[in-house]
Amino acid sequence: MPSLRSRLLRIMIKYILGPKLERAGSSVPELRKLDAFIIKNQKIPKGTDISAVVAEGIAGEWVRAPAAGTERAILYLHGGAFVMGSPATHRELAARLSAAMSARVLVLDYRLAPEHPFPAAMQDAISAYRWLLDTGYTEQNLILGGDSAGGGLALQTLLALRDEGSPLPAAAFFLSPVTDMVRLDGESYSTRAHLDPIASPETHRIIMPHYVGENAPDTPLLSPVNMDLSGLPPLCIHVGDHEVLLSDSVRFAERARACHVDVEFKAWPTMWHVFQANARFVPEARQSIDEIARFVLHHVA
């Protein structure tokens, strides 16, 4: 039974944010204007420390909750369909992740499509991860995470690091990740389309080519869910049951388990895309963050 707060907020999202997304359509400039709306409606927990940082030439923000230590760090890759979003749009979520995992969170301002299609964002993430290692963190004290497009980017980053023989983080977590940027053929694109208050199959099919760019559609890392996932660190995947990207997460979890990766997967009944961003209001979102934190902290040094 969904909480009353989640039901009320879902209505607000449908009738306030939904029309804004519908008016923006597939226009990248119009979608980016929504960043200001998202930033304005955040409330950063009191005492959170936010500071600008440049990691290997890539801008970002350190976000640290008051009680969080500095001995472990999360490299967090924000969502936004690869074309929008920034560290500023994810400060509130990053602060809650910092508090739950008692870690500093580096939210990376990676390059966006269509100006910078694949592999630009992934290269930025790899560079930032190496920078964290160079500044004194060990892989046992590093965590990789991301939501939506940022979740897909996190998976691409893990696979690229593995294939080049780099040390992998102790664990990784994913909030409603995009795990196939080309096919977009999961069954939830049809079965959940009428339930999803935020995303539509049509928008995904128009926006994703901006990220793919001129790369061949059969480029393995553009459909990372279909790659060999063996050797990846423990993975935690949380997704809403009422979103078109549900199948991406289900396939990801099944594929990882088939490759003998330690996976914790949870589909939250009646929840929407990246509902954890609404933890200020929604008890299910706070519970999800706490469960992800327990999984991650079990694996980090």
Full set of structural domains in the chain with CATH: 4-299 (3.40.50.1820)
- Residue 182 in contact with residue 112, Cβ under 8 Å? no
For the segment 9-30, what is each residue's pLDDT rounded down to a tens digit? 999 998 888 888 888 888 999 9
Which segments of the chain are extended strands (E)?
Answer: 49-55, 58-64, 73-77, 104-108, 142-147, 171-175, 235-240, 263-268
Q: Is the pTM of this model over 0.85?
A: yes
The catalytic residues are 148, 243, 273
For the segment 232-256, what is each residue's pLDDT rounded down to a tens digit? 999 999 999 999 999 999 999 999 9
For the segment 28-56, what is each residue's pLDDT rounded down to a tens digit? 999 999 999 999 999 999 999 999 999 99
d(C-alpha 72, C-alpha 61), whole Å = 16
Give the model's pLDDT for residue 102: 97
d(C-alpha 232, C-alpha 168), whole Å = 8
Quick one: angle between helices 283-299 and 91-101, nearest 10? 50
d(C-alpha 238, C-alpha 240), whole Å = 7
d(C-alpha 277, C-alpha 151), whole Å = 14
